Structure 1
Amino acid sequence: MEVTGHAQRTAWRERTLPPVEQVRPGLWSVPVPMGGPLRWVNAYVLELAGGGLGLVDTGWDADESWAALCAGLTSLGGDVTDVRGVLVTHLHLDHVGLAARVREASGAWVAMHPADADGIATFTDRTPEQLWAEEVAFLVGLGAPPEDARADAGTPEQRAGLLRVARPDRLLEDGDRADLPGWSLRAVHTPGHTAGHLCFADEATGLFFAGDHVLPRISPNISTHAGGAADPLRDYLGALAAVGGRQAGEVLPGHEWRFRGLAERTRELREHHERRLAELLAAVRANPGCTPWDLAAHLTWSRPWAQYERRMRIFAVTETDAHLRLLASRGLVVGDGGTVPAWTAAPVR
């Protein structure tokens, strides 16, 4: 795998924000800051034939992020009012968060996959209190003590921002061509990170806008959630295999840095998950009758398990649950059928 976003990787190492970069004639990468360990989102700006700009992802809905996006557009000679269309790779707030502000400022259309459009409709139709209660109930259903579930889920007020998320004006299915004149971007449905995650492949240049499906350094979080896909890791691994067979000149991810070597990176990610599945199966065998909440504590993480709490612990437990579901679909583990599943290894045949 070859790093092509050298300034981005340098900024990552130095814990700074990378510069706005021209990736190709008429194409720029604008870093939009966000909180948390990922630090920024790569918003991609495309110059359109006949005038105007297109965006692939927008960034987190915060004043600092909005200022950075607007300043980035100004630095390349444009303005947010020039935006004609926004392609959303997936419904997570660091990617879709500013789409509503962009649309309000410019009149641009917003497009995403129907599955993620349904996801947005689901949480914008609920109150913050309902969303909070659903997450608490889901965590308890994975084995969390109720008090831990309530603490990790935060507060209903922290979900108020979800109600501002833009519902799409247009829907894009797998293989659909995006309406960005001068570009030949086709949607590639890559479920797993979310049910409607989209990548965009440009047929003319070989560029592959990967969103969070393929990142150069980390494995995207693949988790279960209330009302979500039954086996999201199976979906993800299947989408990785399909994407790995594509010819891509350069990968433009939603985080971290640009790179070449899509086939190699997808192979690495598949191998990572197979190792993780093997580790989890060993943990189930050593600790039969455990819930997903309990089993997460027996796995290797980036820091000691005792330091995990709040959103980090939720991600870890729901990722463990996704891996358990794939092991179950492979016939390697068996749940007890209870309201809170307790898992044991399937008998060896």
Structure 2
Amino acid sequence: MRVTDHGGGVWSIPVPIPDNPLGHTLVHLLDTGRGPVLIDTGWDDPDSYAVLERGLAEAGTSAAEIHGVIITHHHPDHHGLSGAVREASGAWIAMHPADADVVRRTREVGPGTWIRYVIERLEEDGAPDEHVAPLRAVRDSGRSRRASGARAALPDREISPGELVDLAGRRLRAVWTPGHTPGHVCLHLEEEVGGDPRGRLFSGDHLLPEITPHVGLYEDPEDGTVTDPLGDYLDSLERIARLNPAQVLPAHQYAFEDAGRRVRELLDHHAARLADLLRLITEAPRTPWQLAEAMEWNRPWDQIPYRSRNIAVSETSAHLRRLVKAGLAEAAPGTSPVAYRAV
């Protein structure tokens, strides 16, 4: 893919994600009265940074000229290169406080904390011993790697939901859209697009044209708060539907129109997932792992790679928690690991 000029001082630059089926992150460049601003930066990798630099040059600027960086969410394919851009330019970095807290915690906790947390989660979800064994071996060896994002840059500005970001000559309003992460934000560029006053939306990972964003449990080894990420995500989708932008500029795939249609598709998708889960636990109590094995994915369970199974179980757990919060499911007494049944 090449740099795309979306008009009105907005470009998208595809920055590669190494060894990832998504391929790239669309980093958006926005002209402002104080200089160019980036929305997301891409994966922290020398080759990715070189591609970003070439894309900026094609758009008529450079990393050294970047005035500010706005991060839709903390994931490394979005926030990874923020530190490199700030080092090159002195740019400020802005992020929602909830995701800034994730960055801070990830930098502070040791690698052993993360591996223990992942093992505990999988054991609680009913993962079989053969799946957990490799992680236990890493833990016992003392050679645990640091969590992804352990070197991520700390932001120096907060994004305040509902307020305009401080950009000269632009009306860019932050819209808090938790679900994919606790502090995910979309950014509404309030201006006419081809005579349409509804503006454009930089949607990060919240709203993508063909992909259903991952919604799993928010991970924090040191916080036992019972969150409801899927409930957050569904509420956030409806918020974007009410906003009804003329065009959506996502962080993956391509720009598209008719945000309302895409929101309806995603709401229907998650409603079907919830109904399927409810059917399964009506038949018999099941652990999150057993439910993930029984659900439909984009390939048979025995063909899903190891790490992707962990993601699938986290997503299953988030849907299960939504059913529990809605009073439709509960833990079956006397089960260990805990199995869930319909109420």
1:212-260, CA deviations, whole angstroms, 9 ceiling, x for partnerless residues? Answer: 1111001100001433761110110011011101131110001011000
- Cα offset for 1:134? 1.4
2:33 corresponds in structure 1 to: 49
> Which is further off, 194-203 or 162-171?
162-171
**Mapped partners of 2:147, 2:178: distance in 1:** 26
* Matching of residue 235 in structure 1 with residue 232 in structure 2: yes
Contact preservation (8 Å) 2:122, 2:132? yes
Amino acid at match of 1:212: D
Match in the other structure for 2:315: 319
Select the residue among 97, 101, 107 that pairs with 2:80.
Answer: 97
Q: 1:335 aligns with which of 321, 331, 334?
A: 331
Q: Which amino acid aligns with 1:316?
A: A
2:150 corresponds in structure 1 to 163
Cα-to-partner distance string for 1:181-205 (whole Å, 9 max, x where unaligned) = 2211011000000000000001124
Superposition map of 1:27-106 within 5 A: 27-34=10-17, 35-50=19-34, 52-106=35-89
| 1:316-341 residue CA offsets vs partner (Å, 9 max, x unmatched) | 00000011011112222111366632
Structure 2 residue aligned with 1:148, among 131, 137, 143? 131
Whether 2:189 is the aligned partner of 1:202: answer: yes
CA-to-aligned-CA distance 1:56-90 (integer Å, 9 cap, x gap): 00111111211111110011121100111100000
Equivalent pairs counted in the alignment come to 327
Residues 29 and 45 of structure 1 are in contact (CA less than 8 Å); yes or no, is this contact kept in structure 2? yes
From 184, 197, 210, the counterpart of 1:217: 210
- In the alignment, is the contact (CA less than 8 A) between 2:181 and 2:218 conserved in 1? no
Aligned-residue CA RMSD (Å):
1.8
Q: Which of 281, 286, 304 is 1:284 aligned to? A: 281
Q: Is the 8 A contact 2:73 2:181 kept in 1?
A: yes
- Separation of aligned partners in 2, 1:344 and 1:63: 49
In 2, Cα distance between equivalents of 1:302 and 1:126: 34
CA distance in 2, matches of 1:204, 1:116: 27
Does the CA-based 8 Å contact 2:106-2:147 persist in structure 1? Answer: no
2:168 matched residue in structure 1? 181
Query: What residue ranges of structure 1 are gaps of 5+ in the alignment?
Result: 1-17
Q: Which amino acid aligns with 2:3?
A: V
CA distance in 2: counterparts of 1:320 and 1:133, whole angstroms = 21
Letter in 1 for 2:25: V
**Distance verdict in 2 for CA 1:187–1:154, change over 3 Å:** farther
Cα distance 1:136–1:225, how it changes in 2: closer, same or farther (>3 A)?
A: farther
Q: Which runs of no fewer than 5 residues in structure 2 stay unpaired?
A: 193-198
SS of 1:259's equivalent? Answer: coil
If asked which structure has higher relative contact order (CA below 8 Å, sep 6+), I would say: 1
> Do 2:82 and 2:153's aligned partners in 1 also have CA atoms closer than 8 Å?
yes
Percent pairwise identity: 41
SS of structure 2 residue aligned to 1:210: strand
